[in-house]
Structure 1
Amino acid sequence: MDIPEGYEAYFGGVARRRAEISARVEAALDRAGRAHDAARLVAVSKTVGVPEVLCAIAAGYRHFGENRPQELARKLEGLEAVPGLPALRFDMIGNLQKNKINAVLGRAALIHSVSSLHLARAIAERAARRIDEGASVSPQDVLLEVNISGEASKSGFAPDELRSAMDELQGLRGIRLRGLMTMAPRGDKDRARRTFSGLRALRDELEGAYPSLDLSELSCGMSEDFEAALEEGSTLIRLGRVVFDPAFELE
Protein backbone atom coordinates (compact mmCIF):
# COMPACT_ATOMS: atom_id res chain seq x y z
CA MET A 1 0.00 0.00 0.00
CA ASP A 2 1.08 3.60 -0.55
CA ILE A 3 2.45 5.74 2.25
CA PRO A 4 0.39 8.92 2.76
CA GLU A 5 2.02 11.85 1.01
CA GLY A 6 4.37 13.72 3.34
CA TYR A 7 4.55 10.85 5.84
CA GLU A 8 7.51 8.97 4.40
CA ALA A 9 9.89 9.91 7.23
CA TYR A 10 7.26 9.15 9.86
CA PHE A 11 6.62 5.75 8.30
CA GLY A 12 10.35 5.00 8.45
CA GLY A 13 10.40 5.72 12.17
CA VAL A 14 7.30 3.62 12.86
CA ALA A 15 8.72 0.70 10.85
CA ARG A 16 12.07 0.83 12.66
CA ARG A 17 10.33 1.00 16.01
CA ARG A 18 8.12 -1.98 15.12
CA ALA A 19 11.23 -4.07 14.54
CA GLU A 20 12.57 -3.05 17.97
CA ILE A 21 9.26 -3.82 19.69
CA SER A 22 8.93 -7.18 17.94
CA ALA A 23 12.40 -8.21 19.08
CA ARG A 24 11.63 -7.29 22.69
CA VAL A 25 8.25 -9.04 22.59
CA GLU A 26 9.85 -12.23 21.28
CA ALA A 27 12.62 -12.05 23.89
CA ALA A 28 10.07 -11.67 26.71
CA LEU A 29 8.07 -14.62 25.41
CA ASP A 30 11.27 -16.67 25.15
CA ARG A 31 12.11 -15.90 28.78
CA ALA A 32 8.66 -17.14 29.79
CA GLY A 33 8.91 -20.28 27.62
CA ARG A 34 5.95 -19.13 25.53
CA ALA A 35 5.47 -19.39 21.77
CA HIS A 36 5.96 -16.24 19.72
CA ASP A 37 2.32 -16.36 18.62
CA ALA A 38 1.04 -16.61 22.21
CA ALA A 39 0.46 -12.84 22.43
CA ARG A 40 -0.66 -10.05 20.12
CA LEU A 41 0.08 -6.35 20.07
CA VAL A 42 -2.79 -3.87 20.04
CA ALA A 43 -1.58 -0.59 18.54
CA VAL A 44 -3.45 2.07 20.49
CA SER A 45 -4.25 4.71 17.91
CA LYS A 46 -6.27 7.08 20.14
CA THR A 47 -3.87 10.04 19.79
CA VAL A 48 -3.20 9.87 16.04
CA GLY A 49 -5.11 10.37 12.83
CA VAL A 50 -5.89 8.19 9.84
CA PRO A 51 -2.58 8.97 8.03
CA GLU A 52 -0.57 7.72 11.02
CA VAL A 53 -2.71 4.59 11.20
CA LEU A 54 -2.06 4.00 7.50
CA CYS A 55 1.67 4.25 8.17
CA ALA A 56 1.31 1.71 10.96
CA ILE A 57 -0.60 -0.61 8.63
CA ALA A 58 2.15 -0.26 6.03
CA ALA A 59 4.69 -1.12 8.75
CA GLY A 60 2.83 -4.35 9.49
CA TYR A 61 0.33 -3.59 12.27
CA ARG A 62 -3.13 -5.14 11.87
CA HIS A 63 -4.72 -4.85 15.31
CA PHE A 64 -5.69 -1.44 16.72
CA GLY A 65 -7.39 -0.09 19.82
CA GLU A 66 -9.43 3.04 20.45
CA ASN A 67 -10.67 4.43 23.76
CA ARG A 68 -13.44 6.74 22.48
CA PRO A 69 -16.42 5.53 20.45
CA GLN A 70 -16.41 8.63 18.26
CA GLU A 71 -12.74 8.11 17.40
CA LEU A 72 -13.39 4.45 16.65
CA ALA A 73 -16.09 5.48 14.17
CA ARG A 74 -13.89 8.20 12.65
CA LYS A 75 -10.95 5.87 12.09
CA LEU A 76 -13.11 3.16 10.55
CA GLU A 77 -14.85 5.62 8.24
CA GLY A 78 -11.53 7.12 7.15
CA LEU A 79 -10.04 3.71 6.42
CA GLU A 80 -13.09 2.58 4.46
CA ALA A 81 -12.18 5.16 1.82
CA VAL A 82 -8.73 3.63 1.29
CA PRO A 83 -8.65 0.82 -1.30
CA GLY A 84 -6.62 -2.33 -0.98
CA LEU A 85 -6.18 -2.46 2.79
CA PRO A 86 -5.50 -5.81 4.48
CA ALA A 87 -7.92 -7.26 7.01
CA LEU A 88 -7.83 -5.10 10.15
CA ARG A 89 -9.24 -5.38 13.65
CA PHE A 90 -10.26 -2.59 16.00
CA ASP A 91 -10.99 -3.06 19.70
CA MET A 92 -12.58 -0.73 22.24
CA ILE A 93 -10.14 -0.36 25.12
CA GLY A 94 -11.38 2.67 27.07
CA ASN A 95 -14.09 3.25 29.64
CA LEU A 96 -17.46 2.82 27.97
CA GLN A 97 -20.50 4.85 28.98
CA LYS A 98 -23.96 3.36 28.60
CA ASN A 99 -25.06 6.02 26.12
CA LYS A 100 -22.14 5.10 23.82
CA ILE A 101 -22.71 1.34 23.69
CA ASN A 102 -24.65 1.39 20.42
CA ALA A 103 -21.80 3.32 18.77
CA VAL A 104 -19.39 0.50 19.61
CA LEU A 105 -21.47 -2.59 18.84
CA GLY A 106 -20.80 -3.79 15.31
CA ARG A 107 -17.57 -1.82 15.15
CA ALA A 108 -15.35 -3.19 17.91
CA ALA A 109 -14.23 -6.80 17.67
CA LEU A 110 -13.58 -6.91 21.41
CA ILE A 111 -14.52 -4.61 24.30
CA HIS A 112 -11.64 -4.74 26.80
CA SER A 113 -13.17 -2.64 29.53
CA VAL A 114 -16.38 -4.12 30.98
CA SER A 115 -15.81 -2.74 34.45
CA SER A 116 -19.07 -3.52 36.28
CA LEU A 117 -22.05 -5.84 36.32
CA HIS A 118 -24.24 -2.84 35.50
CA LEU A 119 -22.27 -2.15 32.30
CA ALA A 120 -22.17 -5.84 31.36
CA ARG A 121 -25.95 -6.03 31.62
CA ALA A 122 -26.39 -2.95 29.46
CA ILE A 123 -24.03 -4.21 26.73
CA ALA A 124 -25.64 -7.65 26.80
CA GLU A 125 -29.14 -6.22 26.51
CA ARG A 126 -28.32 -4.07 23.50
CA ALA A 127 -26.21 -6.74 21.81
CA ALA A 128 -29.03 -9.28 22.26
CA ARG A 129 -31.44 -6.80 20.71
CA ARG A 130 -29.16 -6.48 17.67
CA ILE A 131 -29.15 -10.27 17.33
CA ASP A 132 -32.95 -10.42 17.56
CA GLU A 133 -33.25 -7.67 14.92
CA GLY A 134 -30.84 -9.44 12.56
CA ALA A 135 -28.21 -6.69 12.80
CA SER A 136 -25.72 -9.14 14.34
CA VAL A 137 -25.26 -12.90 14.23
CA SER A 138 -23.24 -13.40 17.41
CA PRO A 139 -22.81 -12.01 20.94
CA GLN A 140 -20.37 -9.19 21.59
CA ASP A 141 -16.97 -10.45 22.73
CA VAL A 142 -15.86 -8.76 25.94
CA LEU A 143 -13.17 -8.79 28.61
CA LEU A 144 -13.92 -8.13 32.27
CA GLU A 145 -11.83 -5.32 33.71
CA VAL A 146 -10.45 -6.18 37.15
CA ASN A 147 -8.83 -3.77 39.60
CA ILE A 148 -6.19 -6.23 40.76
CA SER A 149 -3.99 -3.58 42.40
CA GLY A 150 -6.86 -2.16 44.46
CA GLU A 151 -6.04 1.44 43.55
CA ALA A 152 -8.92 3.83 44.20
CA SER A 153 -8.11 5.69 40.99
CA LYS A 154 -8.71 2.62 38.82
CA SER A 155 -12.03 1.24 37.62
CA GLY A 156 -13.01 -2.39 37.34
CA PHE A 157 -14.35 -5.25 39.40
CA ALA A 158 -12.64 -5.97 42.70
CA PRO A 159 -11.61 -9.65 42.58
CA ASP A 160 -14.19 -10.69 45.19
CA GLU A 161 -16.85 -8.65 43.42
CA LEU A 162 -16.09 -10.47 40.20
CA ARG A 163 -16.25 -13.87 41.90
CA SER A 164 -19.72 -12.97 43.23
CA ALA A 165 -20.91 -11.73 39.83
CA MET A 166 -19.66 -14.60 37.69
CA ASP A 167 -22.83 -16.70 37.88
CA GLU A 168 -24.82 -13.88 36.30
CA LEU A 169 -22.09 -12.69 33.95
CA GLN A 170 -21.55 -16.05 32.29
CA GLY A 171 -25.28 -16.32 31.66
CA LEU A 172 -25.83 -12.98 29.90
CA ARG A 173 -27.04 -13.83 26.40
CA GLY A 174 -25.75 -10.82 24.47
CA ILE A 175 -22.10 -11.04 25.47
CA ARG A 176 -19.40 -13.68 25.26
CA LEU A 177 -16.73 -13.61 27.97
CA ARG A 178 -13.26 -13.95 26.47
CA GLY A 179 -10.99 -13.14 29.39
CA LEU A 180 -9.83 -10.44 31.78
CA MET A 181 -8.15 -7.05 31.58
CA THR A 182 -6.25 -4.94 34.09
CA MET A 183 -4.03 -1.88 34.37
CA ALA A 184 -0.94 -1.95 36.58
CA PRO A 185 0.30 0.80 38.89
CA ARG A 186 2.67 3.12 37.09
CA GLY A 187 6.23 3.65 38.18
CA ASP A 188 6.52 0.50 40.28
CA LYS A 189 7.78 -2.51 38.34
CA ASP A 190 7.40 -4.95 41.22
CA ARG A 191 3.76 -3.99 41.83
CA ALA A 192 3.12 -4.12 38.09
CA ARG A 193 4.43 -7.67 37.89
CA ARG A 194 2.35 -8.72 40.91
CA THR A 195 -0.69 -7.19 39.24
CA PHE A 196 -0.14 -9.18 36.06
CA SER A 197 0.49 -12.44 37.89
CA GLY A 198 -2.57 -11.76 40.04
CA LEU A 199 -4.72 -11.38 36.93
CA ARG A 200 -3.45 -14.68 35.58
CA ALA A 201 -4.11 -16.44 38.89
CA LEU A 202 -7.65 -15.06 39.04
CA ARG A 203 -8.29 -16.21 35.46
CA ASP A 204 -7.05 -19.71 36.32
CA GLU A 205 -9.29 -19.80 39.38
CA LEU A 206 -12.38 -18.71 37.43
CA GLU A 207 -11.75 -21.21 34.64
CA GLY A 208 -11.51 -23.92 37.28
CA ALA A 209 -14.82 -22.82 38.79
CA TYR A 210 -16.54 -22.48 35.38
CA PRO A 211 -15.10 -25.22 33.14
CA SER A 212 -17.32 -24.29 30.20
CA LEU A 213 -15.81 -20.80 29.98
CA ASP A 214 -12.78 -19.94 27.88
CA LEU A 215 -11.12 -16.95 29.55
CA SER A 216 -7.89 -17.33 27.62
CA GLU A 217 -7.40 -13.64 26.80
CA LEU A 218 -5.46 -11.54 29.31
CA SER A 219 -5.22 -7.90 28.27
CA CYS A 220 -2.46 -6.25 30.28
CA GLY A 221 0.80 -4.48 29.67
CA MET A 222 1.42 -1.06 28.15
CA SER A 223 4.39 0.90 26.86
CA GLU A 224 6.29 0.97 30.16
CA ASP A 225 5.61 -2.58 31.37
CA PHE A 226 4.69 -4.81 28.43
CA GLU A 227 7.67 -7.14 28.83
CA ALA A 228 6.76 -8.03 32.43
CA ALA A 229 3.15 -8.54 31.33
CA LEU A 230 4.23 -10.97 28.62
CA GLU A 231 6.39 -12.87 31.08
CA GLU A 232 3.36 -13.20 33.37
CA GLY A 233 0.96 -14.47 30.71
CA SER A 234 -0.53 -11.50 28.86
CA THR A 235 -2.05 -12.35 25.48
CA LEU A 236 -2.87 -8.77 24.47
CA ILE A 237 -0.48 -5.88 25.11
CA ARG A 238 -1.77 -2.36 24.48
CA LEU A 239 0.95 -0.06 23.13
CA GLY A 240 0.37 3.55 22.13
CA ARG A 241 3.23 6.03 22.42
CA VAL A 242 5.88 3.40 21.85
CA VAL A 243 4.25 2.50 18.52
CA PHE A 244 3.19 5.88 17.17
CA ASP A 245 5.88 8.20 18.56
CA PRO A 246 9.23 7.17 17.05
CA ALA A 247 10.94 9.62 19.47
CA PHE A 248 9.54 7.83 22.54
CA GLU A 249 12.44 6.24 24.41
CA LEU A 250 12.22 2.51 25.00
CA GLU A 251 13.53 1.71 28.47
Structure 2
Amino acid sequence: MLKENLQSVEENIKKACEEAGRKREEVTLIAVSKTKPVEMLQEIYDQDIRDFGENKVQEMCDKMEVLPKDIKWHMIGHLQTNKIKYIIGKTELIHSVDSLHLAQEISKQAVKHNVQADILIEINIANEETKFGIDAGDTIQLVREIAELPNIHIKGLMTIAPFVENPEDNRLYFRRIHQLSVDITKENIDNVSMDVLSMGMTGDYMVAIEEGATMVRVGTGIFGERNYNK
Protein backbone atom coordinates (compact mmCIF):
# COMPACT_ATOMS: atom_id res chain seq x y z
CA MET A 1 0.00 0.00 0.00
CA LEU A 2 2.77 2.44 0.90
CA LYS A 3 4.45 1.96 -2.46
CA GLU A 4 1.17 2.68 -4.30
CA ASN A 5 0.52 5.75 -2.12
CA LEU A 6 3.99 7.08 -2.85
CA GLN A 7 3.58 6.49 -6.60
CA SER A 8 0.32 8.39 -6.54
CA VAL A 9 1.93 11.34 -4.68
CA GLU A 10 4.85 11.30 -7.15
CA GLU A 11 2.45 11.43 -10.11
CA ASN A 12 0.62 14.37 -8.53
CA ILE A 13 3.88 16.25 -7.95
CA LYS A 14 4.90 15.70 -11.59
CA LYS A 15 1.50 16.87 -12.77
CA ALA A 16 1.63 20.03 -10.62
CA CYS A 17 5.17 20.79 -11.85
CA GLU A 18 4.05 20.43 -15.47
CA GLU A 19 1.05 22.65 -14.76
CA ALA A 20 3.40 25.34 -13.38
CA GLY A 21 6.06 24.90 -16.08
CA ARG A 22 8.58 23.69 -13.49
CA LYS A 23 11.02 20.78 -13.42
CA ARG A 24 10.26 17.86 -11.10
CA GLU A 25 13.76 18.29 -9.57
CA GLU A 26 12.75 21.69 -8.21
CA VAL A 27 10.50 20.10 -5.59
CA THR A 28 11.68 17.97 -2.66
CA LEU A 29 9.16 15.54 -1.23
CA ILE A 30 9.46 15.25 2.55
CA ALA A 31 7.80 12.11 3.90
CA VAL A 32 6.23 13.22 7.18
CA SER A 33 6.72 10.18 9.36
CA LYS A 34 5.64 11.37 12.83
CA THR A 35 3.95 8.63 14.90
CA LYS A 36 4.84 6.04 12.24
CA PRO A 37 6.92 2.93 13.06
CA VAL A 38 10.44 2.56 11.65
CA GLU A 39 9.33 -0.38 9.48
CA MET A 40 7.12 1.98 7.47
CA LEU A 41 9.91 4.54 7.14
CA GLN A 42 12.26 1.82 5.93
CA GLU A 43 9.73 0.78 3.30
CA ILE A 44 9.53 4.34 1.96
CA TYR A 45 13.33 4.67 2.19
CA ASP A 46 13.59 1.58 0.00
CA GLN A 47 11.62 3.50 -2.64
CA ASP A 48 14.49 6.03 -2.81
CA ILE A 49 13.00 8.66 -0.49
CA ARG A 50 15.70 10.27 1.65
CA ASP A 51 13.95 13.27 3.22
CA PHE A 52 11.84 12.57 6.31
CA GLY A 53 10.00 15.04 8.53
CA GLU A 54 9.42 14.62 12.26
CA ASN A 55 7.53 16.74 14.80
CA LYS A 56 9.05 15.58 18.06
CA VAL A 57 12.71 15.62 19.03
CA GLN A 58 12.66 12.39 21.04
CA GLU A 59 10.92 10.46 18.27
CA MET A 60 13.33 11.81 15.68
CA CYS A 61 16.37 10.85 17.78
CA ASP A 62 15.02 7.33 18.37
CA LYS A 63 14.49 6.82 14.63
CA MET A 64 17.91 8.25 13.76
CA GLU A 65 19.50 5.57 15.90
CA VAL A 66 18.11 2.67 13.89
CA LEU A 67 17.49 3.94 10.36
CA PRO A 68 20.07 4.42 7.55
CA LYS A 69 22.56 7.20 8.12
CA ASP A 70 22.02 8.92 4.76
CA ILE A 71 18.50 10.03 5.68
CA LYS A 72 18.04 13.79 5.72
CA TRP A 73 15.97 14.65 8.79
CA HIS A 74 13.70 17.70 8.82
CA MET A 75 12.41 19.11 12.10
CA ILE A 76 8.98 20.41 11.13
CA GLY A 77 7.29 20.61 14.53
CA HIS A 78 7.37 23.34 17.17
CA LEU A 79 10.79 23.22 18.80
CA GLN A 80 11.42 23.89 22.49
CA THR A 81 14.71 25.60 23.31
CA ASN A 82 15.73 22.92 25.84
CA LYS A 83 15.51 20.21 23.12
CA ILE A 84 17.73 21.90 20.52
CA LYS A 85 20.94 20.37 21.87
CA TYR A 86 19.69 16.88 20.98
CA ILE A 87 19.25 17.56 17.26
CA ILE A 88 21.81 20.25 16.49
CA GLY A 89 24.12 19.10 13.70
CA LYS A 90 21.92 16.09 13.00
CA THR A 91 19.13 17.73 11.01
CA GLU A 92 19.14 18.76 7.39
CA LEU A 93 16.85 21.69 8.12
CA ILE A 94 14.82 23.14 11.00
CA HIS A 95 11.58 24.37 9.42
CA SER A 96 9.87 25.87 12.44
CA VAL A 97 11.81 28.92 13.70
CA ASP A 98 9.39 31.66 14.65
CA SER A 99 11.20 33.79 17.24
CA LEU A 100 14.54 35.46 17.88
CA HIS A 101 14.74 33.63 21.22
CA LEU A 102 14.58 30.23 19.50
CA ALA A 103 17.09 31.27 16.83
CA GLN A 104 19.51 32.54 19.50
CA GLU A 105 19.44 29.15 21.23
CA ILE A 106 19.97 27.30 17.93
CA SER A 107 22.90 29.61 17.19
CA LYS A 108 24.34 29.11 20.69
CA GLN A 109 24.15 25.30 20.41
CA ALA A 110 25.56 25.36 16.87
CA VAL A 111 28.56 27.38 18.04
CA LYS A 112 29.01 25.09 21.06
CA HIS A 113 29.01 21.96 18.86
CA ASN A 114 31.00 23.65 16.08
CA VAL A 115 28.34 23.01 13.41
CA GLN A 116 26.26 25.14 11.04
CA ALA A 117 22.46 25.14 11.34
CA ASP A 118 20.15 25.76 8.38
CA ILE A 119 16.70 27.05 9.26
CA LEU A 120 13.44 28.29 7.77
CA ILE A 121 11.29 31.04 9.25
CA GLU A 122 7.80 29.77 10.03
CA ILE A 123 5.03 32.18 9.02
CA ASN A 124 1.50 32.00 10.41
CA ILE A 125 0.13 33.23 7.10
CA ALA A 126 -3.57 32.99 7.97
CA ASN A 127 -3.11 34.36 11.52
CA GLU A 128 -4.65 31.27 13.07
CA GLU A 129 -4.63 31.36 16.86
CA THR A 130 -4.02 27.62 17.11
CA LYS A 131 -0.85 27.71 15.03
CA PHE A 132 2.75 28.69 15.68
CA GLY A 133 4.57 31.05 13.35
CA ILE A 134 5.35 34.72 13.08
CA ASP A 135 3.02 37.31 11.59
CA ALA A 136 3.91 37.99 7.95
CA GLY A 137 4.32 41.70 8.69
CA ASP A 138 7.02 41.04 11.30
CA THR A 139 9.07 38.66 9.16
CA ILE A 140 11.62 40.99 7.57
CA GLN A 141 12.58 42.46 10.94
CA LEU A 142 13.02 38.98 12.44
CA VAL A 143 15.07 37.86 9.42
CA ARG A 144 17.40 40.86 9.88
CA GLU A 145 17.94 40.02 13.56
CA ILE A 146 18.55 36.30 13.03
CA ALA A 147 20.86 36.92 10.07
CA GLU A 148 23.42 38.49 12.42
CA LEU A 149 23.72 35.39 14.64
CA PRO A 150 26.72 33.07 14.19
CA ASN A 151 26.50 29.50 12.78
CA ILE A 152 22.86 29.83 11.71
CA HIS A 153 21.66 30.38 8.15
CA ILE A 154 18.20 31.34 6.91
CA LYS A 155 17.37 29.31 3.82
CA GLY A 156 13.76 30.34 3.23
CA LEU A 157 10.23 30.26 4.62
CA MET A 158 7.77 27.66 5.90
CA THR A 159 4.04 27.80 6.49
CA ILE A 160 1.22 25.51 7.54
CA ALA A 161 -1.83 26.70 5.64
CA PRO A 162 -5.35 26.30 7.10
CA PHE A 163 -7.05 22.92 6.95
CA VAL A 164 -9.53 23.29 4.08
CA GLU A 165 -11.88 21.04 2.10
CA ASN A 166 -10.94 22.71 -1.17
CA PRO A 167 -7.18 23.16 -1.75
CA GLU A 168 -7.89 26.19 -3.96
CA ASP A 169 -8.85 28.06 -0.79
CA ASN A 170 -5.18 28.04 0.23
CA ARG A 171 -3.81 29.34 -3.05
CA LEU A 172 -3.84 32.95 -1.86
CA TYR A 173 -1.81 32.00 1.25
CA PHE A 174 0.83 30.19 -0.78
CA ARG A 175 0.95 33.14 -3.13
CA ARG A 176 1.53 35.49 -0.19
CA ILE A 177 4.39 33.36 1.13
CA HIS A 178 5.98 33.37 -2.30
CA GLN A 179 5.61 37.15 -2.55
CA LEU A 180 7.09 37.54 0.94
CA SER A 181 10.14 35.51 -0.15
CA VAL A 182 10.54 37.82 -3.16
CA ASP A 183 10.31 40.89 -0.89
CA ILE A 184 12.93 39.48 1.47
CA THR A 185 15.25 38.65 -1.44
CA LYS A 186 15.01 42.28 -2.59
CA GLU A 187 16.24 43.42 0.85
CA ASN A 188 19.56 41.73 0.01
CA ILE A 189 20.39 40.75 3.61
CA ASP A 190 23.70 38.97 4.23
CA ASN A 191 23.44 35.33 5.35
CA VAL A 192 19.89 35.03 4.01
CA SER A 193 18.69 33.14 0.96
CA MET A 194 15.11 32.43 -0.04
CA ASP A 195 15.80 29.25 -2.01
CA VAL A 196 13.41 27.14 0.07
CA LEU A 197 9.64 27.48 0.34
CA SER A 198 8.34 24.68 2.54
CA MET A 199 4.58 24.73 2.02
CA GLY A 200 1.83 22.34 1.08
CA MET A 201 0.72 19.17 2.83
CA THR A 202 -1.35 16.12 1.89
CA GLY A 203 -4.50 18.14 1.17
CA ASP A 204 -3.01 20.99 -0.85
CA TYR A 205 0.53 20.23 -2.03
CA MET A 206 -0.36 20.40 -5.73
CA VAL A 207 -1.62 23.97 -5.36
CA ALA A 208 1.46 24.82 -3.26
CA ILE A 209 3.75 23.55 -6.03
CA GLU A 210 1.90 25.63 -8.60
CA GLU A 211 2.57 28.66 -6.37
CA GLY A 212 6.30 28.00 -5.94
CA ALA A 213 6.80 25.45 -3.15
CA THR A 214 10.25 23.84 -3.26
CA MET A 215 9.46 21.41 -0.43
CA VAL A 216 6.15 19.69 0.25
CA ARG A 217 5.47 17.83 3.49
CA VAL A 218 3.28 14.79 2.87
CA GLY A 219 2.34 12.42 5.68
CA THR A 220 -1.17 10.99 5.39
CA GLY A 221 -0.91 10.84 1.59
CA ILE A 222 2.00 8.40 1.94
CA PHE A 223 1.60 6.64 5.28
CA GLY A 224 -2.18 6.77 5.71
CA GLU A 225 -4.07 8.20 8.69
CA ARG A 226 -2.15 8.64 11.92
CA ASN A 227 -2.83 6.66 15.03
CA TYR A 228 -2.36 8.97 18.02
CA ASN A 229 -3.46 6.38 20.58
CA LYS A 230 -0.16 4.54 20.60
TM-score by length of 1: 0.85
Note the C-alpha offset of 1:86. Answer: 7.6
The answer on 1:148 being equivalent to 2:125 is yes
Select the residue among 209, 222, 225 that pairs with 1:230: 209
> Match for residue 51 of structure 2?
63
Answer with 1 or 2: which has the greater Rg: 1
**Given the superposition, is the C-alpha separation of residues 174 and 17 from structure 1 closer, same or farther in structure 2, using an over 3 Å criterion?**
same
The answer on 1:209 being equivalent to 2:187 is yes
The answer on 1:33 being equivalent to 2:33 is no
**Per-residue displacement from partner, 1:175-210 (whole Å, max 9, x unpaired)?**
111000001111153441111111000000000012
**Per-residue displacement from partner, 1:136-177 (whole Å, max 9, x unpaired)?**
3xx200000011111122211112211222221111112111
Question: Does structure 2 retain, via aligned residues, the 8 Å contact 1:14–1:246?
Answer: no
Select the residue among 59, 77, 94 that pairs with 1:94: 77
- Which amino acid in the other structure matches residue 64 of structure 1? F
- Which amino acid in the other structure matches residue 144 of structure 1? I
The answer on 1:130 being equivalent to 2:109 is no
**Given the superposition, is the C-alpha separation of residues 174 and 86 from structure 1 closer, same or farther in structure 2, using an over 3 Å criterion?**
closer
**Structural mapping, 1:72-83, within 5 Å:** 72-79=60-67
Select the residue among 196, 199, 203 that pairs with 2:174: 196
> Match for residue 157 of structure 1?
134
Q: State the secondary structure of the residue aligned to 2:46.
A: helix
Report the structure, 1 or 2, having the larger strand content. Answer: 2
Note the C-alpha offset of 1:48. Answer: 0.8
Select the residue among 142, 145, 159 that pairs with 1:168: 145
Note the C-alpha offset of 1:241. Answer: 1.1
> Match for residue 4 of structure 1?
none
Question: Does structure 1 retain, via aligned residues, the 8 Å contact 2:73–2:92?
Answer: yes
> Match for residue 245 of structure 1?
224
- Counting matched residue pairs gives 224
Question: Does structure 2 retain, via aligned residues, the 8 Å contact 1:126–1:174?
Answer: no
**Given the superposition, is the C-alpha separation of residues 175 and 211 from structure 1 closer, same or farther in structure 2, using an over 3 Å criterion?**
closer
Q: State the secondary structure of the residue aligned to 1:59.
A: coil
CA distance in 1, matches of 2:6, 2:82: 36
The root-mean-square deviation of aligned C-alpha atoms, in Å, is 1.7
The answer on 1:51 being equivalent to 2:39 is yes
Structure 2, unmatched stretches of 5+, are: none
The answer on 1:185 being equivalent to 2:168 is no
**Given the superposition, is the C-alpha separation of residues 160 and 14 from structure 1 closer, same or farther in structure 2, using an over 3 Å criterion?**
same
* Percent of aligned pairs with the same amino acid: 33
CA distance in 1, matches of 2:113, 2:71: 23
Question: Does structure 1 retain, via aligned residues, the 8 Å contact 2:144–2:189?
Answer: no
CA distance in 2, matches of 1:203, 1:127: 25
CA distance in 1, matches of 2:206, 2:69: 28
CA distance in 2, matches of 1:53, 1:63: 10
CA distance in 1, matches of 2:130, 2:177: 18
Question: Does structure 1 retain, via aligned residues, the 8 Å contact 2:167–2:203?
Answer: no
Question: Does structure 2 retain, via aligned residues, the 8 Å contact 1:41–1:63?
Answer: yes
Note the C-alpha offset of 1:102. Answer: 0.4
- Which amino acid in the other structure matches residue 233 of structure 1? G
Q: State the secondary structure of the residue aligned to 2:29.
A: strand
Question: Which segment is superposed worse, 30-39 or 183-192?
Answer: 183-192
CA distance in 1, matches of 2:43, 2:101: 38
Question: Which segment is superposed worse, 30-39 or 120-129?
Answer: 120-129
